[in-house]
Structure 1
Amino acid sequence: MSEKPVEGKPVESKSTDSSVKPDAKDKTPSKSVETSEEKKLSNKELKELKKKEKAAKRAAQKEANGISPEQQEKLAEQKREKKQQQTTNSNLKKQLIQTVIKDDSKKKVPTLFSHLETREQRNAASPSISHIVHPAILSLALKISSYKIVGSIPRLRSMLEVFKIIIEGYITPSNTTLQRHLTGHLSHQIEYLKSARPLSVSMGNAIRWLKQEISHISLDLSDIEAKQILCEKIDDFIREKIDLSDRVIIETASKHINNGSTILTFGHSQVLENLFKYCALEQDKHFNLIIVDSRPLFEGKTLFNNLIETETSPNVDDLASETSSVSSRGPKSKPITQDHIKIHYVLINSLSSTILEDVDCVFLGAHAMLSNGRLYSRVGTGLIAMMCHARNIPVLTCCESVKFSDKVQLDSVTNNELADPEDLVSNINSKQPPKKKAFALEQFIKQIEHEKKNEEKSPKGKNNVNNKNKSKKDEDDKDKAPLSNWKDIPNLNILNIMYDLTPPEYIKKVITELGGLPPSSVPVILREYRST
């Protein structure tokens, strides 16, 4: 009987089975060879092969679209340059944050202020970006770090003038625009400027304003026109926010200084210096001035020297008498401190209640005014404001609106500037360190020396030799500074804080270019500053 074929099912024959088997045997060894070759290639090599295949396909598609291989190479180079610029701009701040001092043993900062950045940590980040920094920024950073330029307004003015030099010599690279690339170029300069000293509030406000002005420049303008516009705006900012505002502040503050009054001030402020000169020279007022100063910067000495160097213009009677006798030389002018201002200079540690009895008004400078009405100024300002408030002496603060900040701060620990503790040990500007020790410091050092003597017990026969050596060491220590070896003392830390906070209840009035206002109206001035 023959088998009938079923519909939908092919008839399998024995011959076909025999023919299939040898083909399967032939295919198996070829597959094993391919798998062995694939196993020899690593994962990285396979990824590179896939990348090359994709690149070849893209190149073929571009050639089909009419793009030559030379044009393709140029486009690839442009993409690489853009990626490099993006990586440098994004990773710059990360690199500066991640820089840590290797020698932690030399760093002696109390745990309460350990979150603040020291000068060594700031300087450790400077070499990484020094190759892309303008020479004018390098010189400015050196002057700021060495305290040749001190004060919020002088630092702001010098920074804006240096920015003008950078903008004038700026050249936009190819395939970019000035509006996009100039802000990144300035950010490198600003990051290096932070390594010298932290930026003041006024400098931060000016930087934000300048970057906003750069972004508002139209793309239709050429680079020369755009740079001219930016330089003119910087000049207008200096004239309006610094020069004219100081003039208005001086005119309103001069009403609080009368003939024969006694004024007290702390440190040095450029506005207050101009105020005292204005009252003496232009308004012809005679008053007493008490300058309170503190270590290590001795800013009150700069105010004292600047007032001594200013001279009054000679009177008409003096001119008539001197023209007959003196022909070749001009008439001699008198210093401002001879007739108009009588200055009394005192350090803050020797400020007593007897000096404050005759004070009529206190004028203080400001580093910043916070939005909760607190005054952020040089350390020691809060102490003077508290002493004067206890004796019902009015405390006035002269502050420009550029120094106003949105920040809220309740103490001077969360945010402050740590200066070098060596500045307290050896004074700045090559002055001699103080040779007299404080009583508490003497007791502390004697206690440590007594503990060392007890630990190092020497034999009886060598006591005389040790006593002679100790007497020689004591004589040498008398000639040295009292804290020359403070790093060797394990339990002694020297902290040099730059600023402190003054509560608003100690301040009677804040004098700005908008007028004299209470400290509680600082947010209103901030709104006015933003609107302008």
Structure 2
Amino acid sequence: MTDKKDPKATSQASVVPAATASTSAAANASKTGPPPQKTLTNKELKELKKKEKAAKRAAAKAAHGGANPDQQHDQHGKSNNNNNKSQKPKTASQLKKQMNSAKIKDTDVKIPAMFSHLETREQRIAASPTVASIVHPSILALTLKISTYKVVGSSTRCQSMLEAFKDVITSYKTPEGTSLQRHLTSHLSHQIEYLKTGRPLSVSMGNAIRWLKQKISQIPIEMSDEDAKVQLKEDIDLFIQEKILYSGKVITQFASGHIQNNSKILTYGHSEVLKKLFKYCAIEENKSFDIYIVDSKPLFEGKKLAKELSSVKNIKCHYNLITSLSSVLERSSIDFCFLGANSMLSNGRLYSRVGTALVAMSSKNKSIPVLVCCESIKFSDKVQLDSVTLNELGDADDMINTKPFNKTGFNLQQYLNNLEAKKVEEQNGAGKKGQQQQQQSKKEKDDKLLQSSQKNEETLSNWKDYPSLNILNVLYDLTPPEYIQKIITEVGALPPSSVPVILREYKSIT
């Protein structure tokens, strides 16, 4: 017997499970959240951002009537940046580039290839308004004096530079938004860069500059600018007293023991420490001795030393050129040779005015002790094996007897006066006819000699016209340590090999 199902019941039974299934699916969906979306890669994200920016720019362009606001903003930003750059003070490197571009190079200057890396005195700096507004007048005046050799000597130049820095610090005003500890060092760097255009800095000047910058960086931040400037100027005065003036006095006391009565001393050129030493021995210790001053062109610094010592009572001066050095050493029994120094290098070599090595070598060959008087501020940690790598070139025209530098010597003037007197006697009819003929023939020889000398002088003055002729004016040379017996400093007398020890002690103190 078959059962017949009700179609309504069947349909209701089918609807209930479907509803139950949909209800359970909705409940599960509410629990788990929306279905996960596909993650985008970095490349796809960048492209999407580009599209969004492009759409924003297009909308902004349409709103501003076709002008791109980003471009306008960039243009305004660039103009503002340019204005800010023009208002900001130049750094030391930028100022150095500007000065190098402003250099006037003389095309007629002839320098051998070996010395082509050295700057000459003919390279000058054009006074541009930017540089003139930054550089202090005291620095401008000092640069002119140094470039024209009005201020000569390592210690003298260092002292003059520190005095000029005192004027710079006095007139310095810290700009808004900066501090004295940070801005004053850069302001001094501008002055130093211009000071280098006169002549290269000496070792003592470089050591003093490093010391001053270190003192500026150690100023407390809470200190006012006026108090800081007063303290810096007092520190500079103390540095000059200790490292330059008092050091010279101590060196004179140490070195005075080598000078006795009736001693014969050989020296070269001019040195401020040696001048104090000789005056101290003659005036304070009442010693009488002879000084043989050897000098050379073009500066003839020994003339200044001879002029100052000639007025001292117990000193007898002998002035000689370096060409007569061998005869001075042979005829005079020299006891000691005292030399000044521009700097002492770390390998024990003496860096001083050209000709010092020749004097030291000649004295060593004659078994004469060579003593170098040098302050510790002139000690350098550099090592130099020759005088070609680092040196200074002067004007080549100073080495020749051109018309601006030509002067008639005493002997030549006497000879010309005798010729003039004989000429007057001839005009008065004095003497016989044979003597007149003889004098006339002698006069013709003198005229020929004078003409030949004038031709040689003209040829030498036009030396730049000869391509194969070069005249070099090197200002410094190196003296090997084996020619030096000892170095006398304010910390005592020591051999040249002990220079690194003094450098280490000097750095630990400062």
TM-score bracket for the superposition, by shorter chain length = 0.7 to 0.9
Report the CA distance shift for 1:387/1:372 in structure 2 as closer, same or farther (over 3 A).
same
Aligned-partner residue type, residue 171 of structure 1: K
- The match for 1:375 is 350
1:404 aligns to 2:379 (yes or no): yes
Q: Secondary structure at the match of 1:196?
A: coil
d(CA) in 2 for partners of 1:343 and 1:156? Answer: 29
- The match for 2:465 is 488
Equivalent of 1:336, from 312, 316, 335?
A: 312
Residues 433-452 of structure 1 correspond to what in structure 2 (within 5 A)?
A: none
- The match for 1:361 is 336
- Whether the 8 Å contact between 1:296 and 1:428 is mirrored in structure 2 is no
- Whether the 8 Å contact between 2:326 and 2:362 is mirrored in structure 1 is no
1:95 aligns to 2:71 (yes or no): no
- The match for 1:213 is 215
Q: Secondary structure at the match of 1:117?
A: coil
Residues 141-160 of structure 1 correspond to what in structure 2 (within 5 A)?
A: 141-160=143-162
1:226 aligns to 2:201 (yes or no): no
- The match for 1:124 is 125
- Whether the 8 Å contact between 1:262 and 1:290 is mirrored in structure 2 is yes
Report the CA distance shift for 1:244/1:102 in structure 2 as closer, same or farther (over 3 A).
closer
Aligned-partner residue type, residue 341 of structure 1: I
Displacement of 1:307: 1.4
How big is the alpha-carbon RMSD for the aligned residues of Structure 1 and Structure 2? 3.2
Equivalent of 2:393, from 409, 413, 418?
A: 418
d(CA) in 2 for partners of 1:427 and 1:386? Answer: 32
Residues 17-56 of structure 1 correspond to what in structure 2 (within 5 A)?
A: 49-52=69-72
Report the CA distance shift for 1:79/1:278 in structure 2 as closer, same or farther (over 3 A).
same
Report the CA distance shift for 1:429/1:251 in structure 2 as closer, same or farther (over 3 A).
farther
Equivalent of 2:322, from 339, 344, 348?
A: 348
Displacement of 1:263: 0.3
Q: Secondary structure at the match of 2:243?
A: helix
Report the CA distance shift for 1:482/1:283 in structure 2 as closer, same or farther (over 3 A).
farther
Displacement of 1:477: 3.3
Equivalent of 1:394, from 350, 353, 369?
A: 369
Displacement of 1:181: 1.3
Q: Secondary structure at the match of 2:182?
A: helix
- Whether the 8 Å contact between 1:434 and 1:481 is mirrored in structure 2 is no
Equivalent of 2:487, from 510, 513, 516?
A: 510
- Whether the 8 Å contact between 1:426 and 1:433 is mirrored in structure 2 is no
- The match for 2:497 is 520
Displacement of 1:336: 1.4
Which structure's CA Rg is the greater one? 2
Identity rate, percent: 57
- The match for 2:172 is 170
- The match for 1:459 is none
Aligned-partner residue type, residue 461 of structure 2: S
d(CA) in 2 for partners of 1:48 and 1:426? Answer: 73
Q: Give the aligned length.
A: 409
Displacement of 1:131: 3.3
d(CA) in 1 for partners of 2:363 and 2:144? Answer: 37
Report the CA distance shift for 1:199/1:354 in structure 2 as closer, same or farther (over 3 A).
closer
Displacement of 1:84: 4.9
Structure 1 unaligned residues grouped into runs of 5+: 1-33, 59-75, 309-334, 437-470
Report the CA distance shift for 1:343/1:54 in structure 2 as closer, same or farther (over 3 A).
closer
Equivalent of 2:305, from 278, 303, 307?
A: 303
Report the CA distance shift for 1:429/1:404 in structure 2 as closer, same or farther (over 3 A).
farther
Q: Secondary structure at the match of 2:303?
A: helix
TM-score (norm 1): 0.71
Deviations 1:388-439 (A, max 9, x none): 1111110000000000001100000000001111221258995628999xxx
- Whether the 8 Å contact between 1:398 and 1:512 is mirrored in structure 2 is yes
Report the CA distance shift for 1:403/1:428 in structure 2 as closer, same or farther (over 3 A).
farther
Report the CA distance shift for 1:384/1:126 in structure 2 as closer, same or farther (over 3 A).
farther
Q: Secondary structure at the match of 2:317?
A: strand
Displacement of 1:281: 0.2
Q: Secondary structure at the match of 2:157?
A: helix
d(CA) in 2 for partners of 1:285 and 1:200? Answer: 34
1:180 aligns to 2:182 (yes or no): yes
Report the CA distance shift for 1:55/1:303 in structure 2 as closer, same or farther (over 3 A).
closer
Deviations 1:15-57 (A, max 9, x none): xxxxxxxxxxxxxxxxxxx99x99xx9xxxx99742445799x
- Whether the 8 Å contact between 1:125 and 1:195 is mirrored in structure 2 is no
